[in-house]
Structure 1
């Protein structure tokens, strides 16, 4: 594990939630080391094969045996120039491909307390319970977004227990939710276009009808946003792949996202978006993008924002 030397941190341990691909990569490396094999082989032998997942791929040479779809990006829906993502990020989801029905099969294993459809125990009931138990709160606007995390699971406050995990690579997105009280699991994958529109128009109504839960809609800006002091939020925030510049403009915030080299090479462009106050230290984009108003939350300490947060926490530069 000598590749971890000189690793820094964005906040004190346990002080704040920030989604971390590198953390999952460390877990994958630990699994490979403990099992004396590769992450891919351990995943297939200890999870996918016992689960009965037949439509799965962990490497590009496996994916081409199925109807693998390329990612599409931009308003023109152009095919992204690269299909595969770095294998070094595989435990964080950069290479694994599963048909939606396999994700549903995976979800039903959890509703069964860790048992597969064939009665094979993949996880102990104690492990399943720990994954569903709150470990840390997520700053920001809850509702359709996770407001807390378990061990690997996003946890949602929808008037009943709901957990899952979303993900995506460039031009491709996946949505996965499990409602154990209704013995219900649902998954959707898309490779471009208005993914969020499809989610709102098709998937969320299905969840509401099948489970009876009052699944919330995405948040929208208020007709007349509250006027707040914007001074604590302005300034620069720096992360390893992107940075933000936050300025006060016309009673709101103008937030410029500046991609680093990796994100630029992946096709991400510099953008500037106007936000207005939503609630607390959270702000919401005035204009929707891909069917959703983006939200941003600031973590404030001693009257000044120390981090900007949109799932990942970036410290003030």
Structure 2
């Protein structure tokens, strides 16, 4: 239930309904259902259908295809956070004998393992998983298409291998582990490996005629970790809220932030609005907005989950057709409609509870050569360093408690910032990964590599 502060304005709701109505009509989808999340809760649900009296709601299941991969990635990150694995571990260390053991777990998560895009014939999405009873049947005799770590190459078998990793280390089936460790803690009781009523049927719509054909629904077997799940807009709205902020019962905010961080570039042919891939999440820039999430498709179904963390808005869209509406564009539009019509209110400014005088001394204007920067102390206990104007390297830094700070993002992520003091104890300059920042541009007497011309600044004679 939403509070009055969370409810969307009537005009926003009308715009959302209009957008999905256009998508369903022009995309010729038998049905389409959507949800919008704001403030960690679903604040809007909408649906359009071709069958009178049978409009789906937030509790009707659709197959979500490759959004399943994001769930599998959460299970793998849990293993990492517990210390059972390192993302740099080669697969061979934990699941030997696959023929793809040189790839690391991180490379499998980011689709840079070099594995083939698909499992060998027959077409795995339209045939029973019983045809691939062993991992060797999923990978085939020649699973490697590219050297590991060299390029982004989306791989469905790669996530089947990650499912096998989860099963090996947990000693239980992937589906059982997922339910126990993710679905139940997050309250996703309408997400399952097999369809549970009420659920939509999958359809193929003829490309040149307004007629339909039912699609088969197969159990994917060992490919399940790549695309098996069924879910609802209600459950995926809760999952979107988790991916934005984390949940200590499942995965920390820091770990879900890591999932949302680019880990692989997209191939040039696939780049649309700067698309990249994180650890189980697709990442793109669209209309100046950073969006994360995942799309999915299996015969008869399309799915999309899109999140703008900065705007605190997410969208879920599900349809029961093999092709038709472009759900990734639709999800991005739903986020944009809400973000632009009802921009997020910033958190109230709050002062620091206490401040270290020695840190406060370093606040203010600094120069890297002739570039002006500002160092600020913020209420969250961090310091930020960035250009006074225009673009340039900027980062927030975490206090290490010893007079140094560690960069959290951008060019300076992981780099050390420290205040270097003069013999009298005052701050002489800042050192950031060997770069020297001074109070004045090329300050006389400052400890600058190469020194400063003793004649100082001058005009043209």
The TM-score bracket by the shorter chain reads 0.5 to 0.7
Range moving further from structure 2, 2-11 or 168-177: 2-11
Partner of 2:249: 121
Higher mean Cα deviation, 189-198 or 171-180?
A: 189-198
Paired with 1:133 and 1:81, the residues of 2 have a C-alpha distance of 36
> 2:226 is matched with which residue?
92
**CA deviation after TM superposition for structure 1 residue 127, in Å:** 1.4
Moved over 6 A (4+): none
Shift of 1:184: 1.3
Q: Report what 1:56 is aligned to.
A: 191
Question: Rg: which structure is higher?
Answer: 2
Instruction: Please report how far the alpha carbon of residue 81 of structure 1 lies from its aligned counterpart in structure 2 after TM superposition.
Output: 4.2
Aligned to 2:178: 43
Over 3 Å counting, the alpha-carbon distance change for 1:212 and 1:65 in structure 2 is: same
1:50-94 residue CA offsets vs partner (Å, 9 max, x unmatched): 1101211212xxx1433232232433443334112422210001x
Aligned residues: 203
Secondary structure, counterpart of 2:318 in structure 1: strand
C-alpha distance after superposition, 1:103-133 (max 9, x if no partner): 1110101222x12xxxx53102331121111
In the alignment, the residues of structure 2 paired with residue 164 and residue 109 of structure 1 have an alpha-carbon distance, to the nearest angstrom, of 12
Q: Deviations over 1:219-253 (max 9, x none)?
A: xxxxxxxxxxxxxxxxxxxxxxxxxxxxxxxxxxx
**RMSD over aligned Cα atoms:** 2.5
The 1:83/1:122 distance shift into structure 2, 3 A limit, reads same
Q: 1:78, 1:66 → 2: CA distance?
A: 21
Cα distance in structure 2, aligned partners of 1:111 and 1:205: 18
Partner SS for 1:14:
coil
Q: Which whole-Å CA distance do the structure 2 matches of 1:197 and 1:177 have between them?
A: 13
The match for 1:71 among 195, 203, 216 is 203
Q: Deviations over 1:177-223 (max 9, x none)?
A: 011111111111111176426765x644322221239xxxxxxxxxx
Distance in 2 of aligned mates of 1:177 and 1:25: 23
What is the TM-score when the length of structure 2 is the normalising length?
A: 0.41
Partner of 2:66: none
- Aligned match for 2:237, one of 104, 121, 128: 104
Aligned counterparts of 1:91 and 1:146: Cα–Cα separation in 2:
27
Q: Are the equivalent residues in 1 in contact too, given 2:314–2:335 (CA < 8 A)?
A: no
CA distance in 2, matches of 1:69, 1:146: 34
Instruction: Look up the SS of the partner of 1:182 in the other structure.
Output: coil
- Residue matched to 2:279: 151
Q: Where in structure 2 are there 5+ consecutive unaligned residues? A: 1-94, 98-134, 342-461
Match of 2:301 among 142, 166, 172: 172
SS at match of 1:208: helix
Contact 1:166 1:176 in 2 (8 A): yes
CA deviation string 1:272-310 (max 9, x = no partner)? xxxxxxxxxxxxxxxxxxxxxxxxxxxxxxxxxxxxxxx
Instruction: Give the conservation status (yes or no) of the 8 Å contact 1:143–1:157.
Output: no
SS in 2 for 1:175: strand
Alpha-carbon shift at residue 97 of structure 1 (Å): 0.3
Give yes or no for the alignment of 1:80 onto 2:214.
yes
CA apart distance, 1:8:
3.2
- Given the alignment of the two structures, is residue 187 of structure 1 paired with residue 320 of structure 2, yes or no? no
Q: Which has the higher strand share?
A: 1
Per the alignment, in what secondary structure is the counterpart of residue 310 of structure 2?
A: helix
User: 1:244-259 counterparts in 2 under 5 A?
Assistant: none
TM-score (norm 1): 0.58
Find out whether 1:136 has 2:264 as its counterpart: yes
The answer to whether 1:162 aligns with 2:291 is: yes
Q: Closer, same or farther in 2 for the Cα pair 1:69/1:181, shift >3 Å? A: same
Cα 1:167–1:51 change in 2 (3 A) is same
